[in-house]
Structure 1
Amino acid sequence: MLFLNQDKKMVRLMSLLYQRDGEWQKYTDLARGIDASPKTVKIYIENLEKIFYEYVQFQQTGSMVQVVFDPNFGLLTMHRIFLFHSLIVQILYHSFFSPNIEKIDLSLDLDCSESSIFRNIRLFNQELPQVYDLEFSYSQMQFIGPEREIQKFYINFFIEVMPDPLAWPFEKYISEEDVQTLAYLIGKYIHGRKMYPAHFKYIKIALGVSLIRLQQGFVIPVEEYSPIFYPKVEELVKVPAAGLVLDHYVRKNDEDRVQLMYQILTYLFSV
């Protein structure tokens, strides 16, 4: 879904180059392989060189190109790096951390035109309803739809697009150590069982998304408190480390700690 048509062709091109690592290849052959013109292939290669300059060496002649890959550079790494640098991912990434960003500021940050931003959002919205009950608004530069669905999207987004799967996406905003502590306490007080690494990572990312969205004023409506989970949340907030996370990141004045923690965990209760 995050790979738009042009992105798919560029990934296909990179895969073709990877298959013949170190060999000289004709632009015409590569063009046939991705159903594009030789001129377009040259443009794509220039873009790929900017993205992968740390891992790949490009040499070009009039009609041919040679690409030499770092021995430690694999296709999975390539896909993650390329995806993260794609324009639509950068649009979504910036709009998450700056929900009120102006289009002119975004275009300057991403070194692209506003028309390119509009085109990528339009294409993205054509794919989005197949998976999420959401629309990304070009005028508002943020998602329109249920907050639960928005958080679901961004949790999967950050798991999928970070070039380093072990990197913490929210470092400038929320301490990974604090969230890790809270995730551990959730496993102990809410789930009551040991969590596997993949589940633990999911909970960490979900907490990061929920905390930042709450800081920005976005909440999942709670129509009724669960008689199963509410008492567990009451026990959780009595733990000093959990209370410190609330006080440091989201609690204002005399807000009820139990209700605030319940709000942070609302999405997880439905997973």
Structure 2
Amino acid sequence: MELIDNKSKRWINILKLLVSKNKWWSLQELSNENIGSVRAIQSDLEQMKSFQTENGEPLIHIKPRQGISICYTQTIRVDYYIKEILKDTIEIRLIDGVFFEQNRSFYEWMDTLNISRSTLYNTIHKINSLLISYDIELRPDSMQFHGNEKEIRQFFVEFLFEVYGSRLWPFDDIQKQDAVDFLQKLFQVLEVNLPDVAIDKFCLWLAVSIHRVRKNFSIRRNYRYSMDKEKQTSTAKGIYKQIKNLEEHVCQMTKDTFGVTLDRHEFVFLLLIEPAIGHYKSIETVEEKLMFFQSHTPHLFEAIHSFINQLELIFHQEVANRKVMTLILLQYYVYSREITVRDGFLFKKKSRYLSEVKKQLPYFYSRITHIIQELKTDDILASFVKNERELIRIITSNWRGLVHLEMDRRNVLDIFVISTLGYNHSLLIADLIKLRLPPLIHIFTSPENTLNELTMDRLGIDMIVTDTELPNQLGRSTLLISSFPTKKELDNLNRRLVDMID
């Protein structure tokens, strides 16, 4: 987290590393994990000697000849200290306090945090520099967060998940088990299969929403959700009726469990968790959902279809799972309109994902970025393509057969292997080469173990690999290797062939 100072980061990383393996670590080994210098880590460990287990014993064991260790069974205790380290940071204490506690004035927060006026102003400025991407701010005059309520909730879900993790629960007035039970009932009604690894973050999502509603911070919209029933098909009317019944059921569940009454806007916002789940089964089939979108948002439906048509032009092939892709992109559009999606809700995606797409699917990447650039001024899809990284991630994750289409566009190389030790040895070299070559390489040998221009032309050979000097290279690139190729030689061959393909 950007708000954590370097010392706190080192302490957290030391704790996480020590408890990750049941072993003794040397100072140099800890330093080699890019935590910090040996001197800094040694100083940190001296200060961390006061950390204790629940039984009052030292949490961190330090022995001169053995090194440093934490028993791997102390994971929960390590989480406790990580929480304490985080909450000792002024910026995190302020954000946490503004969210959970009653309203306090600027000067009351100065007393609570025991800091000066200028330090508090600097702290707020540092926090707001992080909040720019959420388009919200912490204002000194009110000491409250201002901006789009959906963005504020999204920020707190991410903030609390990073500070408290999955094992610690920050809410005193909302029981985690109540949140788990509620979500399980909700997803059972929706017939949604939620991954176990995602439940903790969805519990935070629900708890943040309930907490904000209780503090009278609610979702506001400039438009209404409605439909002209006279113009809808019987199937669309049936789906609409299901949603109405679902709304009544979910709102009653929320009132019974948490004592909170959800209005229409809060209900719709709550159901935005559905597109974030990924592949799921729900009360409607893909066709029914598409029909619902087509009935209610015909212009958006056509715009997404047009976008997929452009995707298909990249490889001049139909998207194999076009209907599913259409539905996923429609749901992503709705989700991105509600929340400025940065790196996904469930798991933060690193920029490395995009760099790997660029490296391993270069043709697709160049074409999709061109399409996205052209759509940034589109009346309907401008907001849809705003977050390029997340959109590319969704498309690559859900386009069935994308890798094969990319590979089919690459140049296939044909190489001819010949050895002075005979045909069988040529086959041996060819088999060794196959172990280390990319898939778009065809390897040929000849039972006659001879070279001639006619054979090279007929087979379309691009390169000759041999263990002897050739009197005539036949106008082809030639690579000389040992009779039993070394790993270095095979790696060199692999690099040359990859360069030729790209």
Distance 1:218 1:233, change over 3 A: farther
Partners of 1:15 and 1:207 in 2: CA distance: 28
Work out whether residues 237 and 261 of structure 1, in 8 Å CA contact, stay in contact via their aligned partners in 2: no
- Give the match's secondary structure for 1:154: helix
Measure, in 2, the Cα distance between the counterparts of 1:260 and 1:42.
Answer: 53
Contact 1:233 1:262 (8 Å CA) reproduced? no
2:267 counterpart of 1:262:
yes
Amino acid at match of 1:147: E
Report the Cα offset of residue 133 of structure 1.
Answer: 1.9
1:205 deviates by: 1.4
Query: Which 5+ residue runs of structure 2 have no aligned equivalent?
Result: 228-235, 275-333, 336-502
Native 8 Å contact 2:4 2:86 kept in 1: no
Aligned residue among 243, 246, 251 for 2:252: 243
The structure 1 segments of at least 4 consecutive aligned residues displaced by more than 6 Å after TM superposition are 12-18, 20-23, 41-45, 226-230
SS in 2 for 1:136: strand
Number of the residue aligned with 2:152: 150
Structure 2: distance between partners of 1:198 and 1:226: 35
In structure 1, C-alpha distance between the alignment counterparts of 2:149 and 2:122, rounded to whole Å: 25
Counterpart Cα distance in 1 of 2:273 and 2:11: 36
1:168 partner letter:
W
Number of the residue aligned with 2:454: none
Q: CA RMSD in A?
A: 4.5
- The answer (yes or no) to whether the contact 2:136–2:152 under 8 Å persists in 1 is yes
CA drift of 1:174 comes to 2.0
- The secondary structure found in structure 1 opposite 2:167 is coil
Residue aligned with 2:138, SS: strand
Whichever residue aligns with residue 254 of structure 2, its letter is V
Partner of 1:96: 99
Distance 1:198 1:68, change over 3 A: closer
- Aligned residue pairs: how many? 248
2:168 aligned partner: 167
Query: Does 1:120 find its partner at 2:129?
Result: no
Distance in 2, matches of 1:148 and 1:102, equals: 24
Q: Normalising by structure 2, what TM-score?
A: 0.39
Residue pair 2:136, 2:147 contacting (<8 A) in 1 also: yes
Aligned-pair distance for 1:71?
5.2
For the Cα contact (< 8 Å) 2:247–2:267, is it kept in 1?
A: no
Cα distance in 1 for residues equivalent to 2:185 and 2:17: 47
CA contact (8 A) 2:219 2:265 kept: no
**CA offset at residue 258 of structure 1?**
5.8
C-alpha separation in 1, matches of 2:122 and 2:224: 41
Instruction: Give the 3-state SS of the residue equivalent to 1:173 in structure 2.
Output: coil
State the TM-score, normalizing by the size of structure 1. 0.66
Task: Output the CA distance in 1 between the equivalents of 2:45 and 2:120.
Answer: 18
Larger Rg: 2
CA offsets 1:168-202 (integer angstroms, 9 cap, x no match): 322x222334322321232133x432211133333
Q: Residues 87 and 120 of structure 1 are in contact (CA less than 8 Å); yes or no, is this contact kept in structure 2?
A: yes
C-alpha distance in 1 between matches for 2:266 and 2:105: 32
CA contact (8 A) 2:164 2:170 kept: yes
Give the letter for the 1:88 counterpart: E
**Does 2:151 correspond to 1:136?**
no
The structure whose RCO (Cα within 8 Å, separation 6+) is larger is 1
**Does structure 2 conserve the Cα–Cα contact (< 8 Å) formed by 1:2 and 1:88?**
no
Secondary structure of the equivalent of 1:4?
Answer: coil
Q: Map 1:150-229 to 2 at 5 A.
A: 150-162=152-164, 165-170=166-171, 172-189=172-189, 191-222=190-221, 223-225=223-225
